[in-house]
Amino acid sequence: MNCVELDPYIEEFDSVILQWNPRLTDVHVEKEREKSFPTWLRSRVEQDLVTDSRVQEISYGPSKIVRVYPSYIVNGYRFHTRDYGRNKSMMNSGVCVEGSAYNENEIDYYGILEEVIELQFLGQDNNVILFKCHWFDPNSIRNDTTYGIVDVKHKSKLSTYEPFILATQAQQVYYSNYLSLKLRDWWATCRVKSRLFPEYELLQADDDLEGVNDNFFQLDRSDVRELAASTQFNVDDINETICLDKDNEQEEVDPNALEREVESDVEEESWHDEDEFEEDDEDDAELNISSGSDDEYR
Protein backbone atom coordinates (compact mmCIF):
# COMPACT_ATOMS: atom_id res chain seq x y z
CA MET A 1 0.00 0.00 0.00
CA ASN A 2 3.09 2.20 0.31
CA CYS A 3 1.69 4.39 3.09
CA VAL A 4 3.02 4.03 6.63
CA GLU A 5 -0.29 5.19 8.11
CA LEU A 6 -1.95 2.12 6.61
CA ASP A 7 0.52 -0.41 8.04
CA PRO A 8 -1.39 -1.16 11.28
CA TYR A 9 -4.65 -1.59 9.34
CA ILE A 10 -2.97 -3.93 6.87
CA GLU A 11 -1.69 -6.05 9.75
CA GLU A 12 -5.17 -6.11 11.26
CA PHE A 13 -6.71 -7.13 7.95
CA ASP A 14 -4.18 -9.95 7.44
CA SER A 15 -4.84 -11.30 10.91
CA VAL A 16 -8.59 -11.30 10.26
CA ILE A 17 -8.08 -13.19 7.00
CA LEU A 18 -5.89 -15.79 8.69
CA GLN A 19 -8.45 -16.24 11.45
CA TRP A 20 -11.02 -17.19 8.82
CA ASN A 21 -8.62 -19.55 7.07
CA PRO A 22 -5.33 -20.29 8.87
CA ARG A 23 -4.13 -22.44 5.95
CA LEU A 24 -3.78 -19.53 3.56
CA THR A 25 -0.29 -18.98 2.21
CA ASP A 26 1.37 -15.57 2.01
CA VAL A 27 0.58 -15.42 -1.70
CA HIS A 28 -3.13 -16.03 -1.09
CA VAL A 29 -3.19 -13.48 1.72
CA GLU A 30 -1.60 -10.90 -0.58
CA LYS A 31 -4.16 -11.58 -3.31
CA GLU A 32 -7.02 -11.29 -0.83
CA ARG A 33 -5.54 -8.03 0.45
CA GLU A 34 -5.42 -6.56 -3.05
CA LYS A 35 -9.00 -7.63 -3.64
CA SER A 36 -10.77 -6.83 -0.36
CA PHE A 37 -8.68 -4.43 1.71
CA PRO A 38 -10.06 -1.16 0.22
CA THR A 39 -13.66 -2.21 0.92
CA TRP A 40 -12.78 -3.44 4.40
CA LEU A 41 -10.98 -0.18 5.25
CA ARG A 42 -13.86 1.94 3.95
CA SER A 43 -16.23 -0.03 6.15
CA ARG A 44 -14.03 0.62 9.18
CA VAL A 45 -14.03 4.35 8.45
CA GLU A 46 -17.81 4.48 8.05
CA GLN A 47 -18.15 2.73 11.42
CA ASP A 48 -15.99 5.47 13.02
CA LEU A 49 -13.32 2.93 13.89
CA VAL A 50 -10.56 4.97 12.22
CA THR A 51 -9.40 8.25 13.77
CA ASP A 52 -6.46 9.08 11.50
CA SER A 53 -7.64 11.80 9.09
CA ARG A 54 -5.18 10.78 6.36
CA VAL A 55 -6.38 7.18 6.45
CA GLN A 56 -9.97 8.41 6.29
CA GLU A 57 -9.17 10.45 3.17
CA ILE A 58 -7.36 7.56 1.50
CA SER A 59 -10.21 5.14 2.22
CA TYR A 60 -12.54 7.06 -0.11
CA GLY A 61 -10.27 6.36 -3.05
CA PRO A 62 -8.83 8.70 -5.67
CA SER A 63 -10.71 11.30 -7.67
CA LYS A 64 -12.12 10.20 -11.01
CA ILE A 65 -10.27 13.12 -12.59
CA VAL A 66 -6.60 12.40 -13.26
CA ARG A 67 -3.64 14.28 -14.68
CA VAL A 68 -1.40 12.76 -17.31
CA TYR A 69 2.16 13.96 -17.88
CA PRO A 70 4.50 13.28 -20.82
CA SER A 71 7.62 13.84 -18.71
CA TYR A 72 8.43 13.19 -15.08
CA ILE A 73 11.49 13.34 -12.84
CA VAL A 74 11.94 10.88 -10.00
CA ASN A 75 14.80 9.12 -8.23
CA GLY A 76 17.33 11.23 -10.16
CA TYR A 77 16.02 10.20 -13.59
CA ARG A 78 14.20 12.19 -16.25
CA PHE A 79 11.56 9.93 -17.79
CA HIS A 80 9.68 10.51 -21.04
CA THR A 81 6.71 8.50 -22.21
CA ARG A 82 7.30 6.44 -25.34
CA ASP A 83 5.24 8.72 -27.59
CA TYR A 84 6.72 11.91 -26.17
CA GLY A 85 10.30 10.74 -26.62
CA ARG A 86 9.80 8.99 -29.95
CA ASN A 87 11.64 11.65 -32.00
CA LYS A 88 14.22 12.56 -29.38
CA SER A 89 17.89 11.66 -29.64
CA MET A 90 17.98 10.01 -26.20
CA MET A 91 15.78 7.15 -24.97
CA ASN A 92 14.27 8.10 -21.62
CA SER A 93 11.34 5.68 -21.65
CA GLY A 94 13.10 2.50 -20.50
CA VAL A 95 11.96 1.33 -17.05
CA CYS A 96 13.23 -1.31 -14.67
CA VAL A 97 11.69 -2.43 -11.38
CA GLU A 98 13.80 -4.56 -9.10
CA GLY A 99 12.09 -7.70 -7.91
CA SER A 100 12.95 -6.85 -4.31
CA ALA A 101 10.43 -4.01 -4.55
CA TYR A 102 7.77 -6.70 -4.17
CA ASN A 103 9.52 -9.62 -2.51
CA GLU A 104 13.00 -11.12 -2.36
CA ASN A 105 12.13 -14.00 -4.68
CA GLU A 106 10.94 -11.83 -7.58
CA ILE A 107 13.10 -11.19 -10.64
CA ASP A 108 13.62 -7.76 -12.15
CA TYR A 109 11.03 -6.45 -14.60
CA TYR A 110 11.88 -4.44 -17.71
CA GLY A 111 9.52 -2.35 -19.77
CA ILE A 112 8.74 0.89 -21.58
CA LEU A 113 6.92 3.85 -20.03
CA GLU A 114 3.61 4.60 -21.73
CA GLU A 115 1.86 7.03 -19.38
CA VAL A 116 2.55 9.06 -16.24
CA ILE A 117 -0.64 9.35 -14.20
CA GLU A 118 -1.30 11.44 -11.11
CA LEU A 119 -4.07 10.24 -8.80
CA GLN A 120 -5.52 12.78 -6.40
CA PHE A 121 -7.09 11.90 -3.07
CA LEU A 122 -9.04 14.01 -0.61
CA GLY A 123 -6.97 16.34 1.52
CA GLN A 124 -3.90 18.44 0.90
CA ASP A 125 -0.90 16.94 -0.95
CA ASN A 126 -2.64 13.57 -1.13
CA ASN A 127 -1.50 12.54 -4.58
CA VAL A 128 0.15 9.45 -6.03
CA ILE A 129 2.17 9.24 -9.24
CA LEU A 130 1.85 6.02 -11.22
CA PHE A 131 3.77 4.75 -14.22
CA LYS A 132 1.81 2.76 -16.77
CA CYS A 133 4.26 0.55 -18.63
CA HIS A 134 4.47 -2.09 -21.30
CA TRP A 135 6.28 -4.92 -19.52
CA PHE A 136 8.34 -7.54 -21.30
CA ASP A 137 7.79 -11.17 -20.40
CA PRO A 138 10.24 -12.00 -17.57
CA ASN A 139 10.52 -15.49 -19.04
CA SER A 140 11.96 -13.88 -22.19
CA ILE A 141 14.79 -12.20 -20.32
CA ARG A 142 18.26 -13.70 -20.25
CA ASN A 143 21.14 -12.71 -18.02
CA ASP A 144 24.72 -13.13 -19.22
CA THR A 145 26.63 -13.34 -15.95
CA THR A 146 29.98 -13.50 -17.77
CA TYR A 147 29.64 -10.03 -19.29
CA GLY A 148 26.99 -8.68 -16.93
CA ILE A 149 24.51 -8.08 -19.76
CA VAL A 150 20.75 -8.48 -19.52
CA ASP A 151 18.88 -9.08 -22.79
CA VAL A 152 15.14 -8.69 -23.28
CA LYS A 153 13.01 -10.01 -26.10
CA HIS A 154 11.36 -6.78 -27.16
CA LYS A 155 8.43 -8.47 -28.93
CA SER A 156 7.39 -10.26 -25.73
CA LYS A 157 4.72 -9.06 -23.31
CA LEU A 158 3.82 -9.81 -19.72
CA SER A 159 0.99 -12.33 -19.74
CA THR A 160 -0.97 -10.71 -16.90
CA TYR A 161 -2.41 -7.19 -16.96
CA GLU A 162 -0.31 -5.44 -14.33
CA PRO A 163 0.89 -2.27 -16.05
CA PHE A 164 1.06 0.09 -13.07
CA ILE A 165 3.88 0.78 -10.63
CA LEU A 166 4.61 3.63 -8.27
CA ALA A 167 6.91 6.18 -9.89
CA THR A 168 9.21 5.93 -6.87
CA GLN A 169 9.85 2.26 -7.67
CA ALA A 170 11.20 2.99 -11.15
CA GLN A 171 14.80 2.89 -12.28
CA GLN A 172 15.84 3.97 -15.74
CA VAL A 173 17.38 1.84 -18.48
CA TYR A 174 17.87 2.19 -22.20
CA TYR A 175 17.79 -0.52 -24.80
CA SER A 176 20.32 -1.13 -27.56
CA ASN A 177 19.84 -3.14 -30.74
CA TYR A 178 22.22 -5.89 -31.77
CA LEU A 179 23.85 -5.63 -35.20
CA SER A 180 23.58 -9.35 -35.79
CA LEU A 181 20.44 -10.49 -37.62
CA LYS A 182 20.38 -13.55 -35.39
CA LEU A 183 19.80 -11.26 -32.41
CA ARG A 184 17.37 -8.83 -34.02
CA ASP A 185 14.59 -9.89 -31.63
CA TRP A 186 16.73 -9.02 -28.60
CA TRP A 187 17.66 -5.75 -26.95
CA ALA A 188 20.60 -5.27 -24.60
CA THR A 189 19.70 -3.32 -21.45
CA CYS A 190 21.93 -0.59 -20.06
CA ARG A 191 21.38 0.95 -16.62
CA VAL A 192 21.29 4.74 -16.43
CA LYS A 193 23.06 6.53 -13.59
CA SER A 194 20.88 8.78 -11.48
CA ARG A 195 21.85 12.41 -10.97
CA LEU A 196 20.84 15.44 -8.94
CA PHE A 197 18.36 17.88 -10.47
CA PRO A 198 18.13 21.51 -9.31
CA GLU A 199 14.96 23.06 -7.98
CA TYR A 200 12.17 23.30 -10.52
CA GLU A 201 9.83 26.08 -11.43
CA LEU A 202 6.14 25.46 -11.96
CA LEU A 203 4.62 25.29 -15.41
CA GLN A 204 1.24 26.93 -15.87
CA ALA A 205 -0.64 25.07 -18.59
CA ASP A 206 -3.26 26.78 -20.73
CA ASP A 207 -6.83 25.73 -20.04
CA ASP A 208 -7.31 24.84 -23.70
CA LEU A 209 -4.08 22.89 -24.07
CA GLU A 210 -4.26 21.20 -27.46
CA GLY A 211 -1.33 18.83 -27.03
CA VAL A 212 2.05 18.33 -25.53
CA ASN A 213 4.30 21.36 -25.46
CA ASP A 214 7.72 20.17 -26.56
CA ASN A 215 9.52 23.31 -25.41
CA PHE A 216 11.56 23.29 -22.22
CA PHE A 217 12.17 26.40 -20.14
CA GLN A 218 15.60 27.17 -18.72
CA LEU A 219 16.21 30.14 -16.43
CA ASP A 220 19.98 29.86 -16.39
CA ARG A 221 22.31 28.10 -18.82
CA SER A 222 24.27 26.66 -15.92
CA ASP A 223 21.14 25.00 -14.55
CA VAL A 224 19.40 21.97 -15.93
CA ARG A 225 15.87 23.18 -15.44
CA GLU A 226 13.30 21.29 -17.44
CA LEU A 227 9.62 21.88 -17.28
CA ALA A 228 7.40 19.08 -18.50
CA ALA A 229 4.16 20.14 -20.13
CA SER A 230 1.06 18.19 -19.27
CA THR A 231 -1.98 16.89 -21.06
CA GLN A 232 -5.30 17.52 -19.32
CA PHE A 233 -8.26 15.23 -18.89
CA ASN A 234 -11.19 17.22 -17.47
CA VAL A 235 -8.80 19.36 -15.47
CA ASP A 236 -8.84 23.15 -15.76
CA ASP A 237 -6.38 24.07 -13.05
CA ILE A 238 -2.62 24.20 -13.13
CA ASN A 239 -0.62 21.12 -14.04
CA GLU A 240 2.85 21.00 -12.62
CA THR A 241 5.93 18.84 -12.83
CA ILE A 242 6.54 16.97 -9.59
CA CYS A 243 10.13 16.15 -8.75
CA LEU A 244 11.36 13.57 -6.25
CA ASP A 245 15.14 13.78 -6.11
CA LYS A 246 17.94 11.77 -4.62
CA ASP A 247 21.02 13.41 -3.17
CA ASN A 248 23.61 11.58 -5.22
CA GLU A 249 24.91 13.62 -8.13
CA GLN A 250 26.12 11.86 -11.27
CA GLU A 251 27.66 12.94 -14.55
CA GLU A 252 25.14 14.22 -17.08
CA VAL A 253 25.17 13.47 -20.79
CA ASP A 254 24.00 16.38 -22.94
CA PRO A 255 21.37 15.06 -25.39
CA ASN A 256 21.89 18.14 -27.60
CA ALA A 257 25.59 17.53 -28.14
CA LEU A 258 25.02 15.52 -31.31
CA GLU A 259 22.73 18.18 -32.69
CA ARG A 260 25.35 20.89 -32.08
CA GLU A 261 28.00 18.79 -33.82
CA VAL A 262 25.76 18.41 -36.86
CA GLU A 263 25.07 22.14 -36.92
CA SER A 264 28.79 22.96 -36.68
CA ASP A 265 29.52 20.59 -39.57
CA VAL A 266 26.89 22.30 -41.69
CA GLU A 267 28.32 25.73 -40.85
CA GLU A 268 31.83 24.56 -41.70
CA GLU A 269 30.65 23.22 -45.05
CA SER A 270 28.88 26.50 -45.80
CA TRP A 271 32.13 28.43 -45.12
CA HIS A 272 33.99 26.14 -47.52
CA ASP A 273 31.31 26.73 -50.15
CA GLU A 274 31.62 30.50 -49.73
CA ASP A 275 35.41 30.29 -50.13
CA GLU A 276 34.96 28.31 -53.32
CA PHE A 277 32.51 30.87 -54.64
CA GLU A 278 34.95 33.68 -53.86
CA GLU A 279 37.76 31.87 -55.67
CA ASP A 280 35.48 31.32 -58.67
CA ASP A 281 34.61 35.03 -58.70
CA GLU A 282 38.30 35.98 -58.69
CA ASP A 283 38.98 33.58 -61.57
CA ASP A 284 36.10 35.04 -63.54
CA ALA A 285 37.42 38.53 -62.91
CA GLU A 286 40.86 37.56 -64.20
CA LEU A 287 39.32 36.02 -67.29
CA ASN A 288 37.32 39.17 -67.98
CA ILE A 289 40.39 41.34 -67.59
CA SER A 290 42.49 39.15 -69.87
CA SER A 291 39.74 38.96 -72.49
CA GLY A 292 39.35 42.73 -72.35
CA SER A 293 43.08 43.18 -72.90
CA ASP A 294 42.98 40.96 -76.00
CA ASP A 295 40.27 43.16 -77.55
CA GLU A 296 42.30 46.27 -76.90
CA TYR A 297 45.41 44.83 -78.54
CA ARG A 298 43.34 43.84 -81.51
Please tell me the pTM assigned to this model. 0.61
Looking at per-residue confidence, does 111 or 267 come out higher?
Answer: 111
Return mean pLDDT, the chain. 72
Q: Is residue 196 assigned to a domain?
A: yes
Question: Domain check: are 146 and 271 in the same one?
Answer: no
143-166: per-residue pLDDT in tens?
Answer: 888 888 899 999 999 988 889 999
Question: Domain check: are 181 and 78 in the same one?
Answer: yes
Question: Domain check: are 18 and 48 in the same one?
Answer: yes
Question: Domain check: are 19 and 90 in the same one?
Answer: no
59-96: per-residue pLDDT in tens?
Answer: 988 888 889 999 999 998 999 999 998 888 888 999 99
220-247: per-residue pLDDT in tens?
Answer: 322 322 333 333 333 333 343 334 344 4
Instruction: Give residue 201's domain range.
Output: 67-244
Mean pLDDT of 200-205: 36
Number of separate domains in the chain: 3
- Tell me if 156 sits within 8 A of 136, measured CB to CB: yes
Is residue 202 over pLDDT 80? no
What pLDDT does 245 receive? 41
Mean pLDDT of 116-131: 89
